[in-house]
Amino acid sequence: MLFALFILSSLYVSIVNSWGPTGHSLVAKIAQSMLTSNSKKFVQDHLPWYTNGDLSMLASWPDTILYPDTNPVDYLNWQWSLKLHFVNTPDWICNYDRNRDCDWTNEQRCVDGSIQNYTERLANTKQDSIQRQEALKFLVHFIGDIHQPLHAGFSSDKGGNLIKGRFFDNTTNLHSIWDTLMIERRISLDFQSDSNKYYNYLLDIMHTTYMKNISQWSKCPSSDESKYLACSTAWINEDVALNCAFVYRDEQDKPFSVSQQFQLGQIYYNTRIGIVEERLLQSGVRLAAVINKIVELRKHNDKSCPGTVLIAIVLFLEVLLVLICFICYLIRRTFRRQSFGETSDNYHVVKS
């Protein structure tokens, strides 16, 4: 009973720290639909049994652990992970620089470093299974977060959190509009408040409108080669470009400011909801590509494992030996029959 309650609460509590639970769940479901059969098995082996290998069930776990209302017992122990959800970029500079904005080798934590960290840890067979499970749960969430443009927002307004105003009837801030309010509005107006219907719609446009984009989204630009295809630098640069062009501009195209309340409605929604949907799709496609790549590399590593090769060679040699013995036996049998039988003359002929 308590257990069921725990699962339910982790699914339904809403938090304002990243794509809301709906956004994260959509990203995970899109990714799930693109996993290879090997990856599905891998995911099943790396998630708790009660998820039955369903990535979306724990997609918001990294948010739920942070707050006392969802994790009263040890939310304090997880505060170190708060910084892993986002990165800040300088106001209106409109590019991302890893050395300047997220030098994680010098203890500067951010979503770029966390994605590189957890892909590495998930792929690493030397990590124990608990560590790899943690890595997968973080990765599913952070590849979602990194596609919400305001998770790479400007430093002075804390990714839009300090820019306040009204969006239709809601008193809110810019960050929440992008995390949840636009998605909520879309689902309630056009999909009878049923996020499954919305998921089916997203899957549908992915396989039609965006069919040609999928392979390009799944690759890294050459400037950001990553062996696990987690091109986090490129993804953050996409965020920053969107921020400067659309996210941080009001309906008259004027930049938002912390000192002024905004009033946004139909125009902002109509011109930005398409961006939200593209980011959800990209995020799902890329999460699947990363997991598929990691599983493929692990399989490859297993194949070249010296143990297996050695056993195969020994088996092969054994079979060969048995065959040779058998042939020897056959030859000797024929030879004996010949030397003691009617053809003994031939033997002397050959010998001389």
Ligand X SMILES: *[C@@H]1O[C@H](CO)[C@@H](O)[C@H](O)[C@H]1NC(C)=O
Residues that bind ligand X (CB under 6 A): 84, 104, 109, 113-114, 117, 134, 169-170, 212-213, 278
State the minimum distance, in angstroms, from the CB of residue 62 to Zn ion.
6
- Give least dist CB 308 to Zn ion, A: 40
Q: Which lies closer to Zn ion via its Cβ, residue 85 or residue 132?
A: 85
Which residues are CB-contacts of 129 (< 8 A; sequence separation ≥ 6)?
A: 46
Stretch that binds Zn ion, among 85-93, 205-213, 249-257, 275-283 (CB under 5 A): 85-93
In the list Zn ion, ligand X, none, the entry touching 145 (Cβ below 5 to 8 angstroms by class) is: Zn ion
Phi, psi at 249, each rounded to 5°: -120, 140
Name the residue type at position 52. Answer: N
The single-letter code of the amino acid at 207 is H
Taking CB within 5 to 8 Å according to partner kind, which of Zn ion, ligand X, none is near residue 85? Zn ion
The DSSP line for 203-256 is HHHHHTTTGGGHHHHTS--GGG--TTS--HHHHHHHHHHHIIIIITB-TTSPBP
Judged by beta carbon distances under 5 to 8 A according to partner kind, the member of ligand X, Zn ion, none in contact with residue 57 is none
* Cβ-contact 231, 293 below 8 angstroms: no
> Token pair 């009204």 is at which residue?
166
Strands 164-167, 262-264: pairing is parallel
- Give which of 129, 55, 18, 82 is closest to 287, Cα–Cα: 55
Looking at the Cβ atoms of 10 and 114, the one nearer to ligand X is 114
113 binds, among ligand X, Zn ion, none (CB under 5 to 8 A by kind): ligand X
**Hey, what amino acid is at 183?**
I
Q: What is the largest CA-CA distance in the chain?
A: 116
CB of 281 to ligand X, least distance (A): 8
Beta strands in 52-207 (DSSP E): 164-167, 170-173
Residues from 127 through 156 that contact Zn ion (CB under 5 A): 145
Given the complex with ligand X, which of 109 and 164 has the nearer CB atom? 109
Nearer CB in complex with ligand X: 204/318: 204
Q: How far is the CB of 91 from Zn ion (least distance, A)?
A: 22
Stretch that binds Zn ion, among 16-24, 112-120, 122-130, 341-349 (CB under 5 A): 16-24
- Dihedral in degrees, nearest 10, Cα atoms 53, 191, 210, 251: -120
Enter the DSSP assignment of 89.
Answer: B
CB of 5 to ligand X, least distance (A): 24
Residue from 29, 46, 85, 272 binding Zn ion (CB under 5 A):
85
226 φ, ψ (degrees, to nearest 5): -135, 130
Q: Of the two residues 98 and 141, which places its CB atom closer to Zn ion in the complex?
A: 141
If one asks whether residue 238 binds Zn ion (CB under 5 A), the answer comes out as no
Q: Which is nearer to Zn ion, 89 or 114 (CB)?
A: 114
Q: Which is nearer to Zn ion, 24 or 164 (CB)?
A: 24
Quick check: 18 binds Zn ion (CB under 5 A)? yes
Footprint of Zn ion (CB under 5 A): 18, 85, 145
